[in-house]
Chains A and B, each alone.
Chain A
Amino acid sequence: MRVRRLAAWAALPLAVTLGLTACGSGGGSGGASNPDAAVRIEIAEPQHLVPTNTNETSGSQVLSALFSPLVDYDEANKPHEVAADSVTTSDNKVWTIKLKPGYTFHNGEKVTADNYIDAWNYGAYAPNGQNSSYFFEKVAGYDDLQGETPKAKTLSGLQKVDDLTFTVTLAEPYVDFKSMLGYTAFYPLPEAAFSAPGVLAEGYEQAPIGQGPFKMKGSWQHDAKVEVERYDAFPGQQPKVGGVEFRIYQQPTAAYADVLSDNLDVIKTIPTENLSTAATDLGDRYQQSPASSLQVLAFPTFQEEFSKPEVRKAISMAIDRDEITKSIFKDSQQPARSFVSPVVAGYRENTIGTAGAFDPVKAKAVYEAAGGPKKIELSYNGDGGHKDWIDATCNQLKANLGVDCVGTAEPKFADLLTKLKQKQPVGLFRMGWVMDYPSMENYLGPLYSSTGSSNYYGYSNPEFDKLLAEGARAASEDEAIKKYQAAEDLLAQDMPVIPLRYGQNNFGHSTKVKNVHVDLFDRVDLLKIEIA
């Protein structure tokens, strides 16, 4: 008895001391924050870490730390020079790019015009199989680099003037070329990246050497993380953190749990299942910013029953976009009534006019007058979480048009595209578009021009093609926008697709960081983020 009581008295101060120490160490690390600490950002396993081979967001998030682009975009999403000193042209065909002096690669090499020319030639050369190869198709000589045994190994349109200047000659004038230069594919590569001219060194991708604000710390630890640290010799704007640890997650819900417990600093996309509780879980650390994505329902215009624009407009009129955005997406997206996103210059609100106004009575009258089909099928990919809104849309069409409607899931988007390429009847199908660079043209050309790379609707309008070409040749961006807007008006008449929703970034961060911005390309702005 006595012994036990003694033990209790002895244990009490011990427990108090332990508790105090725990508090002390906890308070110390929390109070005096270290501005040079690294922030931890969630990504998925990148597919590649070579600029011309990276076209998904995780890879380009990492590359945005390692490289500094020629141009970046301001608040209005107009390009301004970063690594370039100037980007000039007199005819939109021959562009002169002058580089800022003082830039060095992380291995000490000076950045010269050759680094850009070599990197771009590597990217454009078809046998290298680079994912972003098509970004160079506007440059003169691109066709000679295609096919199994290309005629040439270098783009004839790239010419070195001096160490810091080179010219790019395009095959056709293109007014938005400067905007394009902000894309990942246009970063330079150091000499060390090549083992022989035109041959990428084995292992470069495991520890890419760039000319950006951060350099690699160690190498890419697959499925685990990529770590970078501040590059002190970077002549541009220095970041406010000492480094970044890009943590690789397979499932966003795991990343979300980590942000909740301050184990991770930034999650770029809050998983859908957590959207409804994010505001209470994170408070003002749950944020939204505009994104460039646009969701549409597309028509196979080559099919008889959908060939009339009146039918297509009537279906658009019968869909209550606002209701679906609110009840299904919990306002994590915004209703869309134009073919281009609000994030680009030249955007106008509600270009589809009456077709975008929800009017079930008129919709039904127009639909019946035009002889629309009695049964409508909506195809979508089952792996992307589209079932809910497709079903809701179907229910609206059933109620408002008096038609029979079914949603058909294909396992993957790729399967849907394969069917479309073979012109199999899939009914209406969902499409999404994310821009490559801020330009109206990027929302119009690839999607609706007769030869567009993503024109799966069989839409072809010579007048539209002509206006796009005129826009690209226009003397100034403002004139180009006028042409593009005229082209968009044609789309509004023909309605090859029904615009439904604009995307938004829904992101969250821990209590350990502040000033978190997610840009239009779903990338965290690494120059703005700070330790809280």
Chain B
Amino acid sequence: MLRFILRRLLQMVLAFFGTTLIVYALMFAGQGDPIQALAGERPVTAAQRAYLTEKYHLDATGVGGFFYRYFDYLGSLVRGDLGQSLTGRQISDILAAAWPVTLKLAVIAMAVTVIFGVTAGVIAAIRRSGVFDHATLVVTLLVLGIPTIVLAPLAQYFLGVRWPIFPPTAGAQPSFYALLLPGIVLGSLSLATALRLTRTSVTENLRADYVRTARSKGLRRRRIVGVHVLRNSLIPVITFLGVELGNLMGGAIITEGVFNVPGVGFNLFRGIRTEDGPLVVGIVSVLVVVYLLSNLVVDVLYAVLDPRIRYE
């Protein structure tokens, strides 16, 4: 097991450098004139331009310039310095403020997904073709069909403004309650997928030979479903949830914007809009680490759930 984790960790280092190189290259290629983007529609003074150009090595252009800037960036990254955003703030400070909020949001979304999605999936599978099964099918199709960009403002308008059950926005240092609505919105998409996935997987396993064997041995139904079926059915669900955790971290751009949650997505959006290269690359680098770590956790969980995987 330990060797397995070590090998995965080594692979992560390579993956990390590969992805940051790609992200950096994309940002470098897509960058028009970041100094002008920062100033919006106002003219930029020569002094300001010279100052920022020198500070961020923006005069280093072309292929040579790219590698110069990339290695410069990597050098500071290895020293634990994420650098400064174009507005002069330390990116590590920005992230330190943004991560806890996004993490809270993701945890709520994840909890919503697991509690409602997996439970409802199991129930739907056991009572296949029943009323509950059909009802959840309709609801999940509906939720899957509405993109977050529509769902979030709708939820905000109806549950925040028209019938003020939740506060319409979360704002600074949001309470658990204020994050609940954005969390539910964020979680609802993966909830639908998790539900369908669980249902299919459980249905299949209920028909498996070992279930028949267990039943014929006289095991109680609760034990069959709770231990035997669930353990085997959760492998695809956990794969999905693991990838989804990464998505929740980075993909909260829309939800965080609509509900004014000052998290990672909120900052990433601003960074992209103002062509703030250092900020975008900094955030994405950390996101890459999150993705890699959640994938590692998924793989370890595989091994826990299915001993055969452990010995490969």
Chain A residues within CB distance 8 Å of chain B? 45, 47-48, 55-56, 126-131, 133-134, 146, 148, 221-225, 247-251, 253-255, 257-258, 260-261, 263, 383, 411-415, 417-418, 432, 446, 453-454
State whether B257 touches A223 (Cβ < 8 A).
no
Residue of A45, A133, A251, A415 touching B47 (CB-CB under 8 A): A133
Q: Which residues of B contact A253 (CB under 8 A)?
A: 153, 258
Query: Known: A127-B51, A224-B172, A418-B33. Contact between A413 and B40, CB under 8 A?
Result: yes
* CB <8 Å contact, A417 and B33: yes
User: Would you give 12 A-B contacts (Cβ < 8 Å), ordered by A?
Assistant: A47-B38, A134-B47, A146-B46, A222-B97, A224-B173, A248-B172, A251-B260, A255-B169, A257-B161, A260-B168, A412-B32, A413-B40
Q: Would B169 and A254 count as touching, CB distance under 8 A?
A: yes
Question: CA separation between A217 and B259, bound complex, in Å?
Answer: 25
B-side interface mostly:
helix
Interface centre among A127, A247, A250, A412 (most CB of B within 10 A): A250
Bound Cα distance from A260 to B161, whole angstroms: 7
Q: Is residue B8 within 8 Å, beta carbon to beta carbon, of the partner chain?
A: no
A412 touches B172 (CB 8 A): no
Q: A129: which of B42, B52, B269 is its contact (CB, 8 Å)?
A: B52
Distance in Å: Cβ of A472 to nearest Cβ of chain B: 19
- Enumerate chain B interface residues (CB-CB to A < 8 A): 32-33, 36-43, 45-48, 50-52, 55, 87-89, 93-94, 97-98, 153, 156-157, 160-161, 164, 167-169, 171-173, 256-260, 262, 266-267, 269-270, 273, 275
Nearest neighbor of A430 in chain B, beta-carbon distance: B41
Residues of chain A within 8 A (CB-CB) of B32 are 411-412, 414-415, 418
**B167 near A263 (CB under 8 angstroms)?**
yes
Q: Is the CB of A129 within 8 A of B46?
A: no
Q: Which of B41, B87, B172 contacts A432 (CB 8 A)?
A: B41
A-B pairs, top 6 by smallest CB distance, nearest first, are: A129-B51, A224-B172, A414-B36, A126-B47, A223-B262, A254-B260
- A383 with B164: CB separation less than 8 A: no
Instruction: Known A-B contacts: A254-B259, A260-B161. Give 11 more (CB < 8 A).
Output: A55-B42, A126-B51, A128-B51, A131-B39, A222-B262, A250-B256, A253-B153, A263-B169, A383-B273, A412-B275, A413-B41
Give B37 Cβ to nearest chain A Cβ, in Å: 5
Contact residues in B for A45 (Cβ distance below 8 Å):
270
> Do the beta carbons of B257 and A225 come within 8 Å of each other?
no
Interchain nearest-CB distance for A106 vs B (Å):
23
Give CA–CA (A133, B50) in the complex, Å: 13
Known contacts A413-B40, A418-B33: does B164 contact A249 (CB below 8 Å)?
Answer: no
Cα separation A257 to B164 with both chains bound (whole Å): 11
Question: Are the C-beta atoms of B266 and A250 separated by less than 8 Å?
Answer: yes
- Across the interface, B33 reaches (CB within 8 A) one of A133, A261, A263, A414, namely A414
- In whole angstroms, what is the CA distance A412 to B273 when docked? 9
Cross-interface CB contact of A47 among B87, B164, B168, B172, cutoff 8 Å = B87
Report chain A residues within 8 Å CB of B266. 223, 250
Assess the B48–A129 pair: CB atoms within 8 A: yes
A254 and B41 form a contact (CB under 8 A): no
Residue among B33, B172, B258, B260 with max Cβ neighbours from chain A (10 Å) = B260
A133-B48 contact given A249-B260, A254-B259, A255-B260, CB 8 Å threshold: yes
| Contact partners of A413 in chain B: CB under 8 A | 36, 40-41
Of B256, B262, B273, which contacts A248 at CB under 8 A? B262
**Bound CA–CA A433/B39 (angstroms):** 14
Chain A residues whose C-beta falls within 8 Å of the C-beta of B257 in the assembled complex: 250-251, 254
Q: Which chain A residue lies CB-closest to B94?
A: A222
| Among B51, B97, B275, residue most surrounded by chain A Cβ atoms (within 10 Å) | B51
Our pick among A130, A250, A263, A412 for the contact of B270 (Cβ within 8 Å) is A250
Establish whether residues B167 and A146, one from each chain, have CB atoms under 8 Å apart when the complex forms.
Answer: no
Q: Which residues of A contact B55 (CB under 8 A)?
A: 129
In the complex, what distance in Å separates the CA atom of A476 from the CA atom of B201?
85
Which residue of chain B has its CB nearest to the CB of A45? B270
Which chain A residues lie closer than 8 Å to B275 at the CB level? 412, 414
By the criterion CB–CB under 8 Å, are A225 and B33 in contact? no
Give Cα A347 to B135, complex, Å. Answer: 66
| Shortest distance from the beta carbon of A278 to any chain B beta carbon, whole Å | 13
Closest to A381 in B: B41
State the Cβ distance, A290 to closest chain B Cβ, in Å. Answer: 20
A417 to B40, CA, bound (A): 11
In the complex, which residues of chain A have a beta carbon less than 8 angstroms from the beta carbon of B164?
A: 261
B48 lies within 8 A of A131 (CB): yes
